[in-house]
Every structure is written in structure tokens, then in C-alpha cells.
Amino acid sequence: MHEIKELTKAEEQIMHELWEMGGGFVKEVIERLPEPKPAYNTVSTIVRILETKGFVEHQAFGKSHRYVPKIHKEEYKKLITDKLLNNYFDNSPKRMLSFFLEDNKLDVKELDDILAILKKHK
């Protein structure tokens, strides 16, 4: 398997739609994007870049192509999380969790859920 590359913000936005849909045509992706809608050619170009990067593959239907994810969302999430952990928290999950706690990013319910997960894995 080849190395997974990080996506640009625009590429990531398109990939999230393709992951949600399980694949689709450029027109279907555009329909799901927020206003103002990007031009068809813009999205088409981004999808072809995603194909070049190995994130999607296409199925031909006459002259149109349906694009299907080749990389699972969980696989990409792991890459991004590992990069965040390595680059900003010295590869320390404890430091990363402390950051979210100190920055008040977690509410009481989420803290309870985290404690339950910790107890389960203890």
C-alpha cells in the first residue's frame, strides 16, 4: 500500500461528502456542498486530484464517472490524529487530552464518557 498523503481543506471537504455518500458523481457532490456552490469544473478537478492521490477511483458510465472512496475515513482519521499527536503534543496522548481539558473543549457528559472508556480499558 502506498503512503497516504494529507489533504488540502478543499480536498478534505469533497472526501467527506464522498465518504458520507459511499461514492457519487460530481453533480451529486456539488448538491451536498454549502452555498455558495463551487463551479462544476472546480469540483471535477479536485476529484481528479483525489484520484491521482489514490483516495478515490472512478467507475465509468458512458462519458460520466462515479467516484468511490479507496481510502476509508477511519484510515485517514488515524493519519491526521497521529500527525497532530506527533507534531503538537510530543506523541503524548496525555498532553493532548490535557490540552482539550484545559481549553474547555469537553463538557461533563464527554468527560463521563471518557472515564467510562478508561475504566473499560484498564
Do 63 and 93 have their domain in common? no
pLDDT value, residue 2: 57
71 CB neighbour count, 10 Å cutoff: 19
The letter for the amino acid at 92 is S
Together in a domain, 63 and 18 = yes
115: how many CB neighbours lie within 10 A of its CB? Answer: 10
Tell me the residue range of the domain where 44 lies: 9-69
Domain contains 2? no
pTM, to two decimals: 0.81
**Does residue 65 sit in the same domain as residue 13?**
yes
105 and 83 within one domain: yes
Beta strands in 1-122 (DSSP E): 24-25, 56-61, 64-69
pLDDT digits (tens, 9 = 90+) for 75-110: 999 999 999 999 999 999 889 888 888 877 778 888
Domain count of the fold of the chain: 2
Query: Is 56 inside a domain boundary?
Result: yes
User: CB-based burial of residue 46 (10 Å sphere; 0-12 exposed, 13-18 middle, 19+ buried)?
Assistant: buried
